[in-house]
Amino acid sequence: MPVKNRFAELHGDITAWRRDIHENPEILFETHRTSALVAEKLRAFGCDEVVEGIGRTGVVGVIRGRSTASGRTIGLRADMDALPITEATGLDYASKMPGAMHACGHDGHTAMLLGAARYLAETRNFDGTVAVIFQPAEEGGGGGREMCRDGMMERLGIEEVYGMHNWPGVPVGQFAIRPGPFFAATDIFDIEIEGKGGHAAKPHETVDTTVAAAQIVGALQSIASRNADPVAQLVVSVTSFQTSSNAYNVIPQRVHLKGTVRTLSPEMRDLAETRMKAICTSVAEAFGATAEVSYTRNYPVMVNSDEQTTFAAEVARAVSGQCADAELVMGGEDFAFMLEERPGAYILVGNGDTASVHHPEYNFNDEAIPAGCSWWAEIVERRLPAA
């Protein structure tokens, strides 16, 4: 695999950084140790500027090329946060933090971007400026949104932005990408169903919320099967069913449902919210109960820009010899917020035959490091070619 020789030399160092971060996972915006480590290394690499506290605990390193005559700035983004999962890998560098682990490979993303930053600061073989972006709270906290709200794009003059994620099932060091919608919008909902509780032996004296809620759960599946265009992507999942009583002989007064909706277009997003509210209200009413729906729009659809996607794939082929067409992903990714502000692209790098992300036995594959670092570096050197 034709990767840059410098990353073969740095492989041991980058692996050590990755495993240190893996051993000390931090969740959401609480990436204080990781952020401090990143800032310390960026300064040691000789970055021209290191900005801390963007998006609460985000860090950005600024590296200027040998020339900046182009006046252009490219952003490269990695996520830093871990997940609230108990690790089950048995590794000697497994998480030391109870109930937290890097189960999605953000430790690897951060280490690879640090490796690329070191190389770019050493060589500066480009005309323009690079902003290496280290983001907290990708796993549900919207750290990308917060960094954008803090004015990161305008403050640093970022014109394009590129992201990367490891992907189990793709051969190690190979790549996959697709233009247009790539990762789904991730909305969440809460449904409160109110009835009339009572003794389970006298159901006729109650308004049974469990029966109403069960019917609502089933009816919500008709949004995808009967309201949405069959060729559109739409997922409605009820993930929690909680009653106000745990007794065997009590019909509960209240039931709380919650779950997620995944869509790949604004039209499907609007449809899902509208139909959910109508179904919950009418079905509950049919059983003499009431239903209140709280629908929260979370991460938007992540959309790769056509030009930047073509370029990113060309770079991937230069690094690994190929770049596959990626499938649509119904998971969410808050790099979407950055792509709403600037054109750019998000690519997958192979993690090999490993446990899936968000699994307690998952681990980032360190053999992917040279390919990932080389892709970052080539993005810069080809997009901002030195005179």
Give 263-319 pLDDT, tens digit per residue. Answer: 999 999 999 999 999 999 999 999 999 999 999 999 999 999 999 999 999 999 999
The H-or-E segment that residue 133 falls in is: strand 129-135
Bridge partners, 250 (sequence order): 199
3-class SS at 17?
helix
Q: Is 358 marked within a binding site? A: yes
Measured between alpha carbons, how far apart are the two ends of the chain, in Å?
28
Q: What's the pLDDT at 20?
A: 98
Strand duo 58-64 + 129-135: pairing: antiparallel
What's the whole-number mean pLDDT along residues 151-175? 97
Q: Is 256 marked within a binding site? A: no
Q: Is 148 marked within a binding site? A: no
Average pLDDT, the chain: 97
* Whether pLDDT at 322 is above 50: yes
Q: Which CATH class is domain 185-299?
A: alpha beta
**CATH architecture assigned to 5-181+302-383:** 3-Layer(aba) Sandwich (3.40)
Q: What's the pLDDT at 227?
A: 96
- Angle (CA) 377-380-385 rounded to 5° is 120
What's the whole-number mean pLDDT along residues 13-37? 98
* Whether pLDDT at 2 is above 80: no
Domain ranges, ordered by start, for the chain: 5-181+302-383, 185-299
Q: Is 104 marked within a binding site? A: yes
Q: Is 165 marked within a binding site? A: yes
* Whether pLDDT at 200 is above 70: yes
CA distance 142 to 260: 16
* Whether pLDDT at 1 is above 80: no
Give 38-86 pLDDT, tens digit per residue. Answer: 999 999 999 999 999 999 999 999 999 999 999 999 999 999 999 999 9
Q: What's the pLDDT at 4?
A: 82
Bridge partners, 243 (sequence order): 255
- The share of the chain scoring above pLDDT 90, in percent, equals 98
Give 203-257 pLDDT, tens digit per residue. Answer: 999 999 999 999 999 999 999 999 999 999 999 999 999 999 999 999 999 999 9
Structure token digits, residue 16: 């050590």
CA distance 387 to 380: 14
**CB of 187 closer than 8 Å to CB of 298:** yes
